[in-house]
């Protein structure tokens, strides 16, 4: 039985799904939860690495614990996305997962910085990652609000806001991790660490997101209704992996992670322990190039993605390959020429140069994928994304820890720290593989073997909107 059709005019609510064109203020507002989610991601990234460093020093153990999130990505996130395609509740089909996930994440992020024992921290981290991935259906919801022709610029807006957040986090927040503050409230003095402030600001951001999505966003049923068919492990895997086109999309989704997963956890330790930069300098290196990215690189990339849609795939490919080449060249210089003695200016400059090209992948990624996805399968295919990417990233993250340990044991014996820079080697090889896979995808598109569902559905959405307008007249 399909969900009931939405009643009344879309003008009666603030933000609704499945319109052929939406105000740009909706796009900006829908980017807000992305920004909050990225802040939580930063807490789950560099901040979590430093939190774990208080308890363990082995890079393999750090990557194993950090990869719990990836494990849940395909165990929890995939299931949540899949089920969100096949249910309907009074508040919609994506929102129940989002609200439950954000509430749970907020509670866990309050607890993480106050724990002083690793064995107490571990179950909290497990729940933290569980709730993060329970809120996975936000990307399908965002693309149900944003029509296909507006998704390139919508991705630009989201990326600009995300990078603004990353700039602030890098320049003004992560460097305060080790600070200690004493606050006097009603005659009593409380000790607040920078670590605690970082995590608790994430909880405050999640509170705003919960209120926004819970009260302002309204879901309407998709054009083809909601599929309430039988749910079982067999149907789950058949729906996710039963279509050749879905496999092509999984290949597309997997490519950025092939290069990025290697450096995701251990890069902060490379910067602080091998290059000798402080946490504040690490933060500044993350933030220094953001104004150029926000005001120049990202708007140009967004314009190209929307106005020249045939370039989306090529931009996506080059945005992976060029930064990998730049990073590998920097690694060779640092290791064999500079002997790990480089200035923070050089590190920041090369990083910003690579990020300029990386913005092409960042902006084109989402619009490109949803160009080839039917809206009735957003959650199902997103479940496949989470499953495939989760398995691959879980393996790569843990292999990266083993690789650093293995490489250091052979080539860096007697050194005072692990050779974290060695992660550049498998990262570069993986980027070359990703570029080759994207070339294969491009050939399949040119031969008509990958169907552009997004464009076809946009035409159907325009017809539905015209019919609704005629009925109201």
Please report the pLDDT score of residue 432 as a whole number. Answer: 92
Name the average pLDDT for the chain: 82
Contact assessment for residue 6 and residue 224, using Cβ atoms and an 8 Å cutoff: no
Least Cα distance to 286 among 156, 397, 162 occurs for 162
Residue 324 exposure: Cα atoms within 13 Å on the Cβ side: 26
Reply yes or no on domain 10-472 having CATH 1.20.1250.20: yes
Torsion sign across C-alpha atoms 391, 392, 393, 397 = positive
Q: How far apart are CA 464 and CA 221, in angstroms?
A: 13
Average pLDDT over residues 149-162: 79
pLDDT of residue 408: 85
Look at residue 10 and tell me whether its pLDDT is greater than 50.
no
For residues 292 and 356, is the Cβ–Cβ distance under 8 A? yes
* C-alpha span between 286 and 284 (Å, rounded): 5
Report residue 369: phi and psi, to 5°: -65, -45
| Class of residue 9 by CB neighbours under 10 A (exposed 0-12, middle 13-18, buried 19+) | exposed
Neighbours of 469 (CB within 10 A): 10
- pLDDT tens-digit readout, 373-386: 887 777 788 788 87
Which helix (H) or strand (E) element contains residue 458? helix 453-472
The pTM of this model reads 0.66
- Whole-angstrom distance, CA of residue 381 vs CA of residue 266: 30
- Give residue 73's pLDDT band: very low, low, confident or very high (50, 70, 90): low
Give the pLDDT score at 298: 74
User: Is pLDDT above 80 for 144?
Assistant: yes
**Distance from C-alpha of 308 to C-alpha of 40, rounded to nearest angstrom:** 33
CA dihedral (107, 113, 115, 120) in degrees, to 10, reads: 60
Helix 312-336 and helix 298-307, axial crossing angle in degrees, nearest 10: 150
> Helices 344-370 and 298-307 sit at what angle, rounded to 10 degrees?
20
Is the pLDDT assigned to residue 108 strictly greater than 90? yes
- What is the per-residue pLDDT for 326? 92
Alpha helices in 308-417 (DSSP H): 312-336, 344-370, 378-411
| Cα–Cα distance measured from residue 319 to residue 278, given in angstroms and rounded to the nearest whole number | 29
Percent of the chain exceeding pLDDT 70 equals 90
Q: What is the pLDDT of residue 216?
A: 92
Alpha-carbon distance of 420 to 403, in angstroms, equals 9
Instruction: Give the chain's largest Cα–Cα span.
Output: 80
DSSP state of 310: G
Q: DSSP labels for 345-359?
A: HHHHHHHHHHHHHHH
Separation between Cα atoms, residue 29 and residue 141, nearest integer Å: 13
């Amino acid at each position: 039985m399909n969900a009931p059709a939405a009643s009344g005019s879309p003008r009666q609510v603030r933000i609704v799904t499945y319109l052929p064109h939406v105000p740009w203020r909706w796009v900006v507002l829908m980017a807000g939860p992305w920004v909050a989610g990225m802040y939580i991601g930063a807490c789950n990234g560099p901040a979590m690495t430093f939190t774990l460093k208080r308890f363990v020093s082995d890079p393999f153990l750090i990557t194993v614990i950090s990869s719990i999130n990836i494990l849940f990505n395909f165990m929890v996130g995939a299931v949540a996305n899949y089920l969100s395609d096949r249910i309907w509740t009074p508040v919609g089909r994506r929102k129940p997962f989002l609200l439950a996930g954000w509430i749970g994440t907020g509670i866990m992020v309050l607890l993480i910085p106050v724990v002083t024992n690793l064995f107490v921290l571990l179950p909290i981290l497990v729940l933290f990652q569980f709730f993060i991935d329970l809120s996975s259906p936000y990307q399908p919801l965002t693309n149900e609000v944003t029509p296909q022709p507006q998704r390139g610029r919508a991705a630009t807006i989201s990326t600009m806001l995300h990078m603004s957040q990353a700039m602030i986090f890098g320049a003004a927040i992560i460097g305060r991790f080790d600070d200690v503050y004493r606050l006097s409230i009603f005659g009593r003095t409380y000790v607040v660490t920078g670590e605690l402030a970082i995590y608790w600001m994430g909880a405050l951001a999640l509170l705003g997101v919960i209120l926004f999505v819970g009260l302002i966003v309204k879901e309407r049923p998709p054009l083809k209704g909601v599929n309430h068919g039988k749910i079982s492990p067999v149907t789950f895997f058949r729906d996710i992996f039963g279509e050749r086109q879905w496999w092509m999309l999984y290949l597309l989704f997997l490519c950025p992670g092939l290069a990025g997963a290697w450096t995701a956890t251990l890069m902060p330790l490379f910067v602080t322990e091998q290059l000798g930069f402080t946490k504040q300098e690490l933060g500044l290196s993350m933030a220094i190039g953001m104004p150029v990215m926000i005001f120049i690189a990202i708007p140009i990339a967004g314009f190209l993605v929307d106005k020249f849609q045939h370039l989306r795939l090529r931009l996506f490919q080059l945005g992976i390959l060029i930064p990998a080449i730049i990073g590998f060249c920097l690694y060779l210089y640092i290791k064999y020429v500079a002997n790990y003695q480089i200035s923070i200016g050089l590190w920041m400059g090369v990083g910003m140069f690579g990020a300029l090209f990386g913005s092409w992948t960042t902006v084109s990624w989402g619009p490109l994928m949803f160009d080839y996805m039917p809206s009735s399968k957003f959650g199902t295919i997103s479940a496949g994304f989470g499953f495939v990417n989760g398995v691959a990233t879980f393996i790569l993250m843990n292999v990266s820890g083993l690789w650093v340990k293995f490489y250091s044991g052979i080539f860096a014996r007697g050194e005072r720290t692990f050779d974290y820079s060695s992660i550049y080697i498998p990262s570069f090889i993986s980027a070359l593989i990703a570029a080759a896979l994207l070339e294969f995808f491009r050939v399949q598109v040119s031969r008509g073997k990958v169907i552009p569902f997004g464009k076809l559905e946009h035409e159907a959405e325009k017809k539905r909107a015209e019919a609704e307008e005629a009925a109201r007249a």
